[in-house]
Amino acid sequence: AARIELARLDASMDLAEVLQQDGAFEAVSDDRIVLEPQQGSRYWLRIEPMQEPGRTQVLRLDRVPVSRLVAWYDPLPGEAPGELIDSFLAPPSGEPLRSDFSLPLRDARRILVAIDPLLPATVSWSLGGEREALIASRGAGNLAAASYAAIFATALVSLALTLAVREPAYRDFTAFAVLAGGFLALAQGHAFELPLLGPLLGAWGIGVLWMAAALCAASALSAAQGLLGLSGRAPALVRVARALVWTLAGFGLLLGILPATVHAQFAPAASAVLSAGLLLPVLATGWGWAHGARPAAAQCLMWAVFWLAATSQLALLSGWLADSGGLAWLQQGGTALAVLGLSIALTDRVIALRQRAEAMQALHASSSAVLRIEQKRRELVETLEASTGTAVEPSDLEWRAFRQLLVVLPDVLPLRAQALTVSGYRGFDYLLAEPMKEKPRICALLADRSSTLKGICRARTAMSLPPEGADPAGPRLGVVPLPVPRPGWGALLLERQEGAFATEELELAGEFAELAFKAVEQGARAVELKRRAETDPLSGMLNHRAGEELLDSQLRAARHAGEPLGVLFLDVDLLRTVNERFGMAVGDHFLRSLGGNLRPLLRDDDLMYRHGGDEFVIVLPGLGIEQSEAVAERMRAQVASQRFRSEQGPIKITVSLGVAALQPGDESARRLVERAARATEMAKGQGRNQVARAKGFGASAEAPDAPPIF
Ligand SMILES: Nc1nc2c(ncn2[C@@H]2O[C@H](COP(=O)(O)OP(=O)(O)OP(=O)(O)O)[C@@H](O)[C@H]2O)c(=O)[nH]1
């Protein structure tokens, strides 16, 4: 419906000169052309509408990012240079960008349009009635308005969420939404048409557009990377993405300050870099998708939509892509759809990840509490096991176990004071308090509430008691019954300044108490077993093995200290005869009574054990041969002086003793005992009921006594 011609002429030509350049104009057959900015030249469009009576035609120029567009009616012959239709000129301070122009075609008059493109740009036009032009521009305007509304509303919601949950992914996404809207508005020329902002952006120049694109790519990658980071996956990928975010942002700032001529020159390269930058979020979320993160699929798709919209915009600006009606829909609609969709996907993802992070945190907190309790439990058991090894008496063990329980409990539960009271356990009563200085107060408290406590212990149910008296802020008591066998009873009293004890806390204290009691029981059994293993059942003395072990350690200690050590070997005289004559029971009885008979003659540190049969060993630490011999003699005399009762009347049973003492060359307990035993044989040989010194110590000073008389 119109004839359109294009000429590229020297920029210095004015309208009058251009009108004479008829031959320079070439007809354009397409409905779009690509204009390349070039220093010193300017594009001129000559449009000649066909006659259409009764209809005003309008030429619409779409998406022309230009710094200058001036349109005149071609003057009729004889007229002065053309009447100005529309003018859009670069202010001296900068280069504004504008996209849509509608030029009314009147009276079939040709119009001339001078265009200085800012970037390589595709210019498309449509020719139609005023109504169609109006509808077309309104449609485009509506789409643009809806897109911006969606984008900036999403950005606002995202900003509110950023402030509410302080989630870095939201913060980055908010920046992205704002920058995506800004980039769209700049690239489509809308931002330059704003009343105040337009001139300001125009003054800055086209660099602002590239900067917006680069920062948009940086924030997009940052938001995608934030999600990767939040998901705790691929830390290396997150680090790379973070570095790329900063690179893109730096690139954007550089583009922002470069002069317009450089932009025109490097527009394709910058477009390629930014398009690649905008592809990174697609790749990052695609990676998540490939590794099983389901919400990453939605994000990946949305980033891809945005990438398409933004890249087509960049391609258009770089002249790689010809404009078409659908492109504006893709760019505006695509950006809005991507921003909205991403916002939804992000919210969904962030909620899910937050919940998981909180659950992990709770799990971590509870598992670290469990670990601490487990560690304390182990500590208690280990300490008690160690006590078992060294305890001599079960009561000794009980005391240690209860004490340890009170030491460990405050590490498990917050307590002000605690006490353990046990009555009649293995015939003992205990009252332990921690800290010790609280003992009198706890004693008083026990006395006050003893009937309540006993009741609770009998019911065997742990309880938290209300504060004493009227003071509701008074200390709270928790009572944990102890597993004391009846008829004894016992309780663990836990005290806290405020707040009742929870059932779980009392159960935990009960578990620890049970551990302590179990340790006592096991320890007592172990002590008993050890005692049995070391004791000779008939005489009640240590047996050969245990006795010799002890002798060995005493021998080592004596040698170490350089002190003397005496050893006596005692053998009952003619026990075989006693057995035969009076019966084994009498022999047994004699052997059983020997310990009780002789022990009063010994010191506490002296050791007497059964060597076997009717033989006994007596160890005398600190005594030399002389003193040992004196002890032996006292023993011999003690036995000889007594009459032993039997059914056949009193009988006299005697013993013979050999005496040896530690010598510098003595190697072992066994050898020392052997020497003493040989001395005993000598005593036997000399007539029994005697004391004999081992060889090497000189002859016995003692005179032989009378032989045994039955
Ligand atoms: N009643 C009793 N007799 C025992 C016990 N152990 C060992 N005997 C006896 O003690 C006797 C030890 O014998 P010997 O030491 O060789 O000889 P003896 O009859 O004591 O005479 P001399 O040692 O030479 O004075 C054996 O007859 C054993 O049966 C025991 O536990 N009870």
Report the helix count and the strand count for the chain, using DSSP H and E. 19, 20
Whose CA is closest to atom 16 on ligand 1? Answer: 576
Whose CA is closest to atom 29 on ligand 1? Answer: 576
* In contact, 320 and 288? CB cutoff 8 Å: no
- What distance in angstroms lies between residue 655's CA and the mean position of ligand 1's atoms? 12
- For residue 574 and ligand 1, the question of a CB distance below 6 A is answered with yes
* In contact, 329 and 62? CB cutoff 8 Å: no
Whose CA is closest to atom 27 on ligand 1? Answer: 576
Same domain, 523 and 564: no
- For residue 579 and ligand 1, the question of a CB distance below 6 A is answered with yes
- What distance in angstroms lies between residue 587's CA and the mean position of ligand 1's atoms? 8
Q: 495 in a domain, yes or no?
A: yes
Q: What pLDDT score does 570 carry?
A: 97
Whose CA is closest to atom 5 on ligand 1? Answer: 613
- What distance in angstroms lies between residue 659's CA and the mean position of ligand 1's atoms? 20
- Rounded CA gap, 616 and 573, in Å? 12
Sign of the torsion formed by the C-alpha atoms of 134, 140, 144 and 146: positive
Backbone angles phi, psi at 9, to 5 degrees: -125, 170
Cα separation values, 584 from 577, 609, 612, 710, Å: 10, 21, 16, 15
Q: What pLDDT score does 457 carry?
A: 83
Closest CA to 288 of 337, 330, 232: 232
Alpha-helical segments (H) within 231-259: 235-257
Backbone angles phi, psi at 274, to 5 degrees: -70, -35
Pocket test for ligand 1, best of 573, 584, 614, 657 (most atoms within 8 A of CB): 614
Q: What pLDDT score does 412 carry?
A: 80
Both tokens of residue 464?
Answer: 């938290």
- For residue 589 and ligand 1, the question of a CB distance below 6 A is answered with no
- What distance in angstroms lies between residue 115's CA and the mean position of ligand 1's atoms? 136
Same domain, 435 and 524: yes
Backbone angles phi, psi at 306, to 5 degrees: -65, -40
Q: What pLDDT score does 82 carry?
A: 60
- What distance in angstroms lies between residue 551's CA and the mean position of ligand 1's atoms? 24
* In contact, 192 and 82? CB cutoff 8 Å: no
Same domain, 489 and 423: yes
Same domain, 654 and 610: yes
- For residue 653 and ligand 1, the question of a CB distance below 6 A is answered with no
CATH number of the CATH domain containing 527: 3.30.450.40
Give the number of the atom of ligand 1 that is nearest the alpha carbon of residue 590. Answer: 1
Q: What pLDDT score does 227 carry?
A: 63
Whether the bond into 435 is cis, omega within 30 of 0: yes
- What distance in angstroms lies between residue 610's CA and the mean position of ligand 1's atoms? 13
- For residue 208 and ligand 1, the question of a CB distance below 6 A is answered with no
Q: Supply the range of the domain harboring residue 621.
A: 544-693
- Rounded CA gap, 299 and 343, in Å? 9
- What distance in angstroms lies between residue 613's CA and the mean position of ligand 1's atoms? 6
Give the number of the atom of ligand 1 that is nearest the alpha carbon of residue 688. Answer: 25
Q: 190 in a domain, yes or no?
A: yes
Q: Name the stretches of the chain with pLDDT < 50.
A: 90-97, 700-710
Whose CA is closest to atom 7 on ligand 1? Answer: 613
Both tokens of residue 62?
Answer: 């779409």
- For residue 588 and ligand 1, the question of a CB distance below 6 A is answered with yes
Same domain, 601 and 475: no
- For residue 603 and ligand 1, the question of a CB distance below 6 A is answered with no
- What distance in angstroms lies between residue 589's CA and the mean position of ligand 1's atoms? 13
Backbone angles phi, psi at 492, to 5 degrees: -100, 125
pTM higher than 0.80 for the full model?
Answer: no
- What distance in angstroms lies between residue 660's CA and the mean position of ligand 1's atoms? 22
- What distance in angstroms lies between residue 615's CA and the mean position of ligand 1's atoms? 8
Q: 14 in a domain, yes or no?
A: yes
User: Residue-wise over 362-383: b if at least 16 C-beta within 10 A, else e?
Assistant: eeeeeeeeeeebeebbeebeeb
- What distance in angstroms lies between residue 577's CA and the mean position of ligand 1's atoms? 8
Q: Which run of H or of E encompasses 433?
A: strand 428-434
Q: 575 in a domain, yes or no?
A: yes
Q: What pLDDT score does 236 carry?
A: 76
Give the number of the atom of ligand 1 that is nearest the alpha carbon of residue 656. Answer: 25
Give the number of the atom of ligand 1 that is nearest the alpha carbon of residue 571. Answer: 23
Same domain, 126 and 180: no
CATH number of the CATH domain containing 24: 2.60.40.2380
Closest CA to 592 of 560, 614, 577: 614
Q: What pLDDT score does 674 carry?
A: 93
Q: 706 in a domain, yes or no?
A: no
Alpha-helical segments (H) within 35-165: 130-165
Residues contacting 33, CB < 8 A, separation 6+: 6, 122, 123
- What distance in angstroms lies between residue 653's CA and the mean position of ligand 1's atoms? 12
- Rounded CA gap, 616 and 541, in Å? 10
- What distance in angstroms lies between residue 574's CA and the mean position of ligand 1's atoms? 7
- For residue 573 and ligand 1, the question of a CB distance below 6 A is answered with yes
- For residue 403 and ligand 1, the question of a CB distance below 6 A is answered with no
Pocket test for ligand 1, best of 536, 538, 574, 575 (most atoms within 8 A of CB): 575
CATH number of the CATH domain containing 641: 3.30.70.270
Backbone angles phi, psi at 541, to 5 degrees: -90, 175
* In contact, 621 and 554? CB cutoff 8 Å: yes
**ipTM of this complex:** 0.97
Q: Look-up: residue for tokens 């905008």?
A: 278
Q: Which run of H or of E encompasses 294?
A: helix 294-318
Same domain, 296 and 177: yes
Give the number of the atom of ligand 1 that is nearest the alpha carbon of residue 586. Answer: 1
Tell me which of 130, 163, 189 is where a domain ends.
Answer: 130
Closest CA to 314 of 509, 183, 177, 409: 183
- Rounded CA gap, 439 and 443, in Å? 6
Same domain, 125 and 172: no
Same domain, 146 and 126: no
Whose CA is closest to atom 21 on ligand 1? Answer: 574
Same domain, 182 and 317: yes
Cα separation values, 311 from 94, 203, 275, 283, Å: 26, 26, 5, 15
Pocket test for ligand 1, best of 572, 576, 586, 594 (most atoms within 8 A of CB): 576
Q: 382 in a domain, yes or no?
A: no
Sign of the torsion formed by the C-alpha atoms of 499, 501, 503 and 508: positive
Whose CA is closest to atom 13 on ligand 1? Answer: 576
- What distance in angstroms lies between residue 631's CA and the mean position of ligand 1's atoms? 23
CATH number of the CATH domain containing 306: 1.20.1070
Same domain, 457 and 583: no
- What distance in angstroms lies between residue 572's CA and the mean position of ligand 1's atoms? 7
The total domain count for the chain is: 4
- For residue 688 and ligand 1, the question of a CB distance below 6 A is answered with yes
Whose CA is closest to atom 8 on ligand 1? Answer: 613
Same domain, 559 and 644: yes
Q: 702 in a domain, yes or no?
A: no
- For residue 584 and ligand 1, the question of a CB distance below 6 A is answered with yes
Q: 273 in a domain, yes or no?
A: yes
